[in-house]
Amino acid sequence: MLLHHTMTRVALALLIGTAALSCVAVASDATEPTPAGVEFFEAKVRPVLVASCYPCHSAEKKVRGGLQLDSREALLKGGDSGPAVVPGDPEKSRLIEVVRYAGELKMPPRDKLADAAIADLAAWVKMGAPYPKGGAVVQKQGQLDIAALKKHWAYQPLASPAIPNLASPITQNPIDAFVFARLAKEGLRPAPPAEPRVWLRRVTFDLTGLPPTPDEIAAFEADPRPDAFERVVDRLLASPAYGERWGRHWLDLVRFSETSGHEFDFEIPEAHGYRDYVVRALNADVPYDQFIREHLAGDLLREPRRRPDTGTNESILGTGFWFLGESKHSPVDVRGDSSDRRDNMIDVFGKTFLGLTIACARCHDHKFDPIPTADYYALVGYLQSSRYERVFLDPPETFAGPVGEIRDLRAKAAALAKAKATQVLEARLGRLPAALRDLRDGTASPELAAARKAADLDRPDNPLHPWALLGSHKDDKAFAAARDQHRRKPDLARKDILFETFAPESYARWYRTGFAFGDRPAGVEDVSLAADRPLAVARVRGPHVCDSGVVSNRLQGAIRSPLFTIEKDFIHYRVAGKAAKVNLIIDGFQQIRDPIYGGLTFAIDHGDAWRWHSQNVAMWKGLRAYIEVLDDGEGYAAVDRVVFSDAGPPPPAVLPATRLLLAEDTLTSSDRLADRLAESLRSAVGRWRDGKVGVGDAALVNGLLNNPLLAALAKDETPDADLAALAGRVIDAETMLPTPRRGLGLCDGSGVEEPVYIRGNHKNLGAPVPRRFLVALAGTDQPAPPKTSGRLELAERLLAPDNPLPARVIVNRLWHHHFGRGIVGSVDNFGIQGQPPTHPELLDWLAGELVRQGWSLKAMHRLMVLSATYRMSSRSDADADAKDPANRLWHKMPVRRLEAEAIRDAMLAVSGRLDRRMYGRGPNPHLTEHMQGRGRPIGGPLDGDGRRSVYLNVRRNFLSPLFLAFDYPVPFTTMGQRGVSNVPAQALSLLNNPFVVQQAGRWAERTLATPGTTEERLTRMYQSAFGRPPTAEEVREATAFLASEPDQRRAWADLAHVLFNVKEFIFIE
Amino acid sequence: MHCHRFLPVAPTRRDMLARCANGFGAVALAALLGDRAFGDNVAIDPKNPLAPRKPHFDGKAKSVIFLFMDGGPSQMDTFDPKPRLDRENGQPIKVKVEPTQFNNVGNVLASPWKFNNHGQSGIPVSDLFPNVATCVDDLAVIRSMVSNFSEHTNANYFLHSGLGQQGRPSMGAWATYGLGSVSQDLPGFVVLGSGMIPPGGLDCFSNGFLPASFQGSVFQRGGQPVADLKPPPGGEARQPAKLGLLRKLDKGVVDRFGPDDQLEAAIANYELAFRMQTAVPELMNLDGETRATKALYGIDEAATDSYGRQCLLARRLVERGVRFVELLCQNLGHDRWDQHANLKKGHEDNARAVDKPIAGLLKDLKARGLLDSTLVVWAGEFGRTPMAQGTNGRDHNPFGFSLWLAGGGVKGGTIHGATDDYGYHVVEGKTEIHDLHATMLHLLGLDHKKVTYRFGGRDMRLTDVHGEVVKAILA
């Protein structure tokens, strides 16, 4: 049936499609299929194609993956993954690979074809894939017509609409001109102004999320000045509560959470610092364009914004928003996991700043908007070129002074110490040959023998190791034989790649943050002081060592390698240090934990000796990675070698000096060895003294400095008093170093281009795309800097004057929160699938005004809440309600329900429990017995210590049920518009939740503690909760209610509880 | 019907319109504002989002009971016998090993349990499920399930919502969105907690971007099954007086603010809350059930009492017209079905706890004529590996696993699909989670492509852009 149907269509296409066919036929080879080939095709191949392939790969049905199999041209052209067949070569044909289920892509997806059918397909390809002429027209690949799609209103430049001329006495500002002109056009009249106190309650909740206090109400009502309204607005905008309220709105956009969800809900370190940054930025009225710039590239600004009180870097904290999403600790497929996380980042980025659903283009060109898939991966490139970091916030001057001072002191001390140490070492080495002979001959003192044992000469990195190998042979023949054996010992044939040796040039290619790692690797002039010992120097730190302890163990910092591709099974690191850590970050993956990933992180905590650490990375071959060395506390990290190898054991540790010595022709006896060994070591010490030390020499010198055998050769050595004093000053200076302040954010890494993932599949990579902003908004000519992420340029392109979206999107968000609905109803989607603006001229005027006002959000708030539109009553006449039932034209102000946080905060405010402390890590959520599961935190207090809701710790897997009942958003993506639902849990929680009952009790106590008559008390309660006095009837009802219960404390608590449940408490007019 | 029972507010002129829709009175403001309704294919009455809605076609199933086997039961130890494991027990597996969660791959591990054929259909079931085995002629076993994730949390989100990440509506939310719920005293989507919340937390039962009316309500075991259902101690006596005052004061608010849908719906909302305060204790009280019924579920037997009670509650919820019921696993002192080690003890404990209750549920539903209209689904989020993890456990395996469906239009006595000789990968009839969802919605009379909701610029569905109904298991 299916076959018949298809044949009919093919025939039809042949008849009517000649012209179209001739166009596509040009691309294919012109050879006619042989009759035998056609016969084979019709008998064996076409039935398989029709039954198993055409349903998804034919013009008739669907064209999945851009692939059609219904004509030879189509097969040769192929789909997103390239041509389907290479005629004559089944082994190179994608079609054969996928039907064999040989690779990642398996087709048909549900049931593998029978072996015979697969063999037939291969045989057919082998014979050149004969396919009768004709068949379906190859569909045009879905090339986005960007120019046509760009005609959508949202992509048009900001218009400069004329303000309608409206001679109305109630007009306050241009907003009203636009809104009222439109109403007039529709034959509607605006609702009359609301009572001033209704406006006061409305604007106070809107700007601060709190109810007006009775004193504020009284002051406003008593204020006769013509600018009383303006004064209220200025007061509210200046209140810290403004930033808390609008900060919470912003947190909805960036899916703010302080844990990463998934199985164990691990914490996101310093996430609350981002929240505090937002609150401060809004209170400071940071221009919105700057706010965006900081989110995208706050770490790269030449002159970051600094906190006035602490001088710390504010701008960099904006970049923390990228990392507030969900993440997991043990993805089996790390690349798949990374691409999911980046998808979320791009999604949040696009919706928040541009009102565009860019992430839709992850798997295919956007179905509606002019956003090709390449744009998506162009943006991913910026993320691939950037890295997670616990950023450093202190101003450079906080550390520059002390660090400079310590450096100077250390340089002086080091020079003194070196002089002393070389002198001592040379003296000791002078006594070495005799001591070695004594040891050989058994004539050494017991102390010396013990020292030799302690010296552990068997270690191949010991400078005296040659003696351990050969020194016992007194007989020259035996000596020579042993010497030859050690000479002959071949090095393992290892094809290691010496990835990093930390020479100054290569060190400079690493990415440093913080203050611990210097701008050069540690050198021979950098020494660890041992001022109280005769040797004065514990060790030489350089040369060519990546070392965070050169200045002080108290400094913190991080250093990260350039990006590389894992190509060997093992990575070997030679490290030393205390309280430090090394991570291998694979494809941006940060949640390094067991199972699976535990081996990608290791602590350095053993001390000064060099040790190898090996990682097996065979699982992740082919993926991109970087190494990060972290010094986050009192300690230091030192790395001097990073080796990539196919061998599991680290490279052999024999010192080059040992090998050279054994190779000497004149080395014919142990006596000679004792002399030559001492001589070569003395010359190494001499080179150190003269500042000509090489890498190998430093290892020798350090081996000598810490060698018990040499220590046993000390004679008449005394510590240097000057040096001890100097060292004391170093320690004093170090104690002055503050603990650095850290935050959540980004730092730059190697600039890389991300390939397109064909159909969103990270295992099927296409061509790399250069980093760039959306082509529809910024064109194609926008080169990114090759060596850095280029985020700063991205921010500037996004903020270019000809991009209308950032300004339009943000003024619409403000409007949405003030007027209950955006001018564009779909606040997070201005794309073609979004809703068109109800008042396009007003929207553009507002967006233009924002720019004219220097991107001041507070100026826009002032404009909006002082408009006559905002001052309207929420009651209108029946005629207007009938004509504009959904109030799309704002013929009145809508009645609005408060958000979860405002409801809770209002309860705290009226009960007197509200604690206005700002910032910091907030109390944990209060846990109920219903909040179970892995990662369950320690529960916080029922009343959250009275803190405002914005400060309560947000845990993805343990969101407050009280909040969720009132539509608190699950933090998974941008949520510019919360739902306003109505579920029984709302009624149940207001009636029975222990927090609500507790606050009602407090409110009652507070009320009873104030002297007054029942009516006076009731008036105060009503003013607090509803911003108005009670009516006579309300007083009567409440009084009767109070009288019905003999226990007055109880009665007042019950009354307070009822008032919380009165709808006026959670709704504003 | 329930209007005015609780809050007889004087009728406003739009009273009937605003508040008389079966009393649930829920309103999504967004829907009123015209955004969310835009592009949706389900016509929600904003006044009563839970009102029963007509399906797209005549589906046999009216309710769903989803028995979630948290942790991932092993297919080759339950419903997919693999003799090759016995032959090669202790030997290295002879096929390519996929990356696993713990990366601690041991040798082939034979099933510690024997399989026997059961019923008319002769479907093999292992000794882990002697009671469920007596119901096999009602089961359609799918042996060819695949998931996209090897990690619990992603796989749980995926199984529940069709996407491996937080934030999408759970299938119970979608079903309730599509069909509403017959019960007007109880939520439409109830999750019966048995002590364990699966990885991913309560978001497995989230309404996601759908209105909150469709979110899963978790009924916990213990004194207070629903949060804030009852006043704190001592508060009950005063409640009538308080509600009396509230009613009067709320009337004043309506007079003051003027007619407003949201406001009036919020007032009416107290009605359902009030009804729930009665309906939930009535539901949870099993005194009226006969001794024989309780025995059928294994109630009052140590091993099965807990899950038996939950299964019985599931039947009671279905009887009361609740649309979607999900049962969670109980805490047996070890890690649910997630036997990375000690497979034998762990699976035995888990199976013992649920086998008799599940068989009891199936038999009881059948005896009451409810099985035809109730779809029962037994599933974990993935299966387990044929080779051992360490020596005696099994790691996660999303490449092939088994689940079963029963009742509600399912063709009993069916086996669909197959895995390879090891039970490792699907080789026949590959069935995605999206296909399961499409099939479940189909059985409820819903076309999965038409149950959509506009969010984030596109029409979202439970099956995303995938899903095909598994026709082979339809009656």
DSSP B335-390: -TT--SS-HHHHHHHHHHHHHHHHHHHHHHHHHTT-GGGEEEEEE-S-EEEEEEET
Average pLDDT for chain B: 88
Q: Is A309 exposed, middle or buried (0-12, 13-18, 19+ CB in 10 A)?
A: exposed
Contact B165 A972 (CB under 8 A): yes
**What pLDDT digit, counting tens, does each position of A431-462 carry?**
999 999 999 999 999 999 999 999 999 988 89
Q: Which residue has the higher pLDDT, B368 or A105?
A: B368
**What pLDDT digit, counting tens, does each position of A238-249 carry?**
999 999 999 999
Contact B260 A109 (CB under 8 A): no
C-alpha–C-alpha distance, residues B330 and A634, integer Å: 46
Model confidence at A13, pLDDT cuts 50, 70, 90, reads: very low
Pick from A109, A357, A595: which is nearest to B456 by CB? A357
Q: Is pLDDT of A69 > 70?
A: yes
Q: How far is CA A577 from CA A558, A608, A641, in A?
A: 14, 6, 14
Segment B414-424 shows an average pLDDT of 97
Find residue A580's DSSP bridge partners. Answer: A604
Contact B25 A982 (CB under 8 A): yes
**What pLDDT digit, counting tens, does each position of A342-384 carry?**
999 999 999 999 999 999 999 889 988 999 999 999 999 999 9
**To 10 degrees, the CA torsion angle through A181, A183, A189, A193?**
-70
Chain A nearest-CA distance from B118, in A, is 28
**What is the pLDDT, as a whole number, of residue A491?**
58
Contact A984 B165 (CB under 8 A): no
**What pLDDT digit, counting tens, does each position of A522-580 carry?**
998 999 998 888 888 999 998 999 999 999 999 999 999 999 999 999 999 999 999 99
Contact A932 B197 (CB under 8 A): yes
Taking chain B, what is the end-to-end CA distance rounded to the nearest angstrom?
Answer: 37
Chain A nearest-CA distance from B37, in A, is 12
**What is the pLDDT, as a whole number, of residue B6?**
34
**What is the pLDDT, as a whole number, of residue B102?**
87
Contact A984 B235 (CB under 8 A): no
Q: Is pLDDT of A417 > 70?
A: yes
- CB contacts of B230 in chain A (<8 Å) are 992
Tokens of B347: 């699976």
**What pLDDT digit, counting tens, does each position of A726-754 carry?**
999 999 999 999 999 999 999 999 999 99
Q: Is pLDDT of B17 > 60?
A: no
Contacts of A598 (CB under 8 A, 6+ apart): A592
Number of H helices, E strands in chain A: 43, 19
Contact B227 A1066 (CB under 8 A): no
Give the number of residues written for chain A.
1069
Interface test mutation site (partner A, options B181, B245, B389, B420, max chain A beta carbons within 10 A): B245
Give the number of residues written for chain B.
475
Interface test mutation site (partner A, options B33, B194, B206, B228, max chain A beta carbons within 10 A): B228
Contact yes or no for A253/A974 (Cβ under 8 A): yes
Burial A766-781 (b: 16+ CB within 10 A, else e): beebbbbbbbbbbeee
Tokens of A1043: 């009288």
Which of A:803-842 have CB within 8 Å of B?
820-821, 825-826, 828-829, 831, 833-835
Segment A476-501 shows an average pLDDT of 83
- CB contacts of A1050 in chain B (<8 Å) are 238
Which of B:101-140 have CB within 8 Å of A?
101-104
Which of B:328-387 have CB within 8 Å of A?
none
Contact B227 A985 (CB under 8 A): yes
C-alpha–C-alpha distance, residues B196 and A934, integer Å: 9
CB proximity B235 to A under 8 Å: yes
Segment A713-720 shows an average pLDDT of 89
Q: Is pLDDT of A11 > 70?
A: no
- CB contacts of B242 in chain A (<8 Å) are 1054, 1057-1058, 1061
Q: Is pLDDT of B393 > 90?
A: yes
Pick from A347, A595, A1044: which is nearest to B241 by CB? A1044
Segment B93-117 shows an average pLDDT of 93
Pick from A367, A821, A1062: which is nearest to B253 by CB? A1062
Average pLDDT for chain A: 91
C-alpha–C-alpha distance, residues A538 and A689, integer Å: 15
Model confidence at A655, pLDDT cuts 50, 70, 90, reads: confident
Contact B33 A956 (CB under 8 A): no
A639 phi, psi to nearest 5 deg: -135, 135
Contacts of B471 (CB under 8 A, 6+ apart): none
Q: Is pLDDT of B14 > 80?
A: no
CB proximity A1066 to B under 8 Å: yes
Segment B100-107 shows an average pLDDT of 90
How many Cβ pairs within 8 Å bridge chains A and B? Answer: 270
Contact A897 B28 (CB under 8 A): no
Helix (H) / strand (E) element for A584: namely strand A580-586
Segment A274-278 shows an average pLDDT of 98
Least trusted range by pLDDT, from A10-14, A933-937, B67-71, B182-186: A10-14
Contact A957 B206 (CB under 8 A): no
C-alpha–C-alpha distance, residues A768 and A515, integer Å: 36
Model confidence at A31, pLDDT cuts 50, 70, 90, reads: low
**What is the pLDDT, as a whole number, of residue B28?**
33
Q: Where are the alpha helices (DSSP H) in A828-933?
A: 840-852, 857-865, 868-871, 878-883, 900-911
User: Quick one: what percent of chain A has pLDDT higher than 70?
Assistant: 95
**What is the pLDDT, as a whole number, of residue A168?**
65
Model confidence at B34, pLDDT cuts 50, 70, 90, reads: very low
B304 phi, psi to nearest 5 deg: -115, 0
Segment B448-467 shows an average pLDDT of 90
Which of A:1017-1046 have CB within 8 Å of B?
1031, 1033-1034, 1037-1038, 1041, 1044-1045
C-alpha–C-alpha distance, residues A665 and A362, integer Å: 68
**What pLDDT digit, counting tens, does each position of B340-371 carry?**
999 999 999 999 999 999 999 999 999 999 99
Strands B418-419 and B217-219 come out as unpaired
**What pLDDT digit, counting tens, does each position of A799-826 carry?**
999 999 999 999 999 999 999 999 999 9
Which amino acid makes up residue A829? N
Which pTM does this prediction carry? 0.88
DSSP B270-337: HHHHHHHHHHHHHHH--TTS-HHHHHHTTTTSTTTHHHHHHHHHHHHHHHTT-SEEEEEEE--SS-TT
Q: DSSP secondary-structure letter at B67?
A: E
C-alpha–C-alpha distance, residues A978 and B29, integer Å: 10
Interface test mutation site (partner B, options A367, A828, A992, A996, max chain B beta carbons within 10 A): A992
**What is the pLDDT, as a whole number, of residue B236?**
86
Least trusted range by pLDDT, from A332-341, A1041-1050, B257-266, B406-415: B257-266
What's the half-sphere exposure (Cβ side, CA atoms, 13 Å) at A70?
A: 31
Tokens of A410: 């250390």
**What pLDDT digit, counting tens, does each position of B250-267 carry?**
999 999 998 788 888 888
Which of A:887-946 have CB within 8 Å of B?
888, 895, 897, 928-935
- CB contacts of A935 in chain B (<8 Å) are 201
Chain A nearest-CA distance from B213, in A, is 6
Q: Is pLDDT of B83 > 90?
A: yes
Segment A92-112 shows an average pLDDT of 88
Q: Is pLDDT of A478 > 80?
A: yes
User: Quick one: what percent of chain A has pLDDT higher than 90?
Assistant: 75
Model confidence at B21, pLDDT cuts 50, 70, 90, reads: very low
**What pLDDT digit, counting tens, does each position of A765-811 carry?**
999 999 999 999 999 889 888 889 999 999 999 999 999 999 999 99
Contact yes or no for A755/A765 (Cβ under 8 A): yes
Find residue A529's DSSP bridge partners. Answer: A537
Helix (H) / strand (E) element for A7: namely helix A2-16
Closest residue of chain B to A1044, computed from CA coordinates: B241
Contact yes or no for B380/B149 (Cβ under 8 A): no
C-alpha–C-alpha distance, residues B217 and A966, integer Å: 14
Contact A357 B211 (CB under 8 A): no
CB proximity B234 to A under 8 Å: no
ipTM: 0.85
Q: Is pLDDT of B37 > 50?
A: no
**What pLDDT digit, counting tens, does each position of A613-654 carry?**
999 999 999 999 999 999 999 999 999 999 999 999 998 777
Vertex A375: Cα angle to A373 and A380 (nearest 5): 100
**What pLDDT digit, counting tens, does each position of B3-12 carry?**
233 333 333 3
**What is the pLDDT, as a whole number, of residue A109?**
87
The sign one gets for the Cα dihedral A74, A79, A85, A87 is positive
Segment A844-867 shows an average pLDDT of 98
**What is the pLDDT, as a whole number, of residue A135?**
61
Model confidence at A493, pLDDT cuts 50, 70, 90, reads: low
Chain A nearest-CA distance from B201, in A, is 5
Contact B201 A265 (CB under 8 A): yes
Contact yes or no for A304/A315 (Cβ under 8 A): yes
Q: Is A718 exposed, middle or buried (0-12, 13-18, 19+ CB in 10 A)?
A: exposed
Long-range contacts of A439-442 (CB under 8 A, 24+ apart): A439/A471, A440/A471, A440/A472, A440/A474, A440/A670, A441/A474
The sign one gets for the Cα dihedral A771, A776, A777, A779 is positive
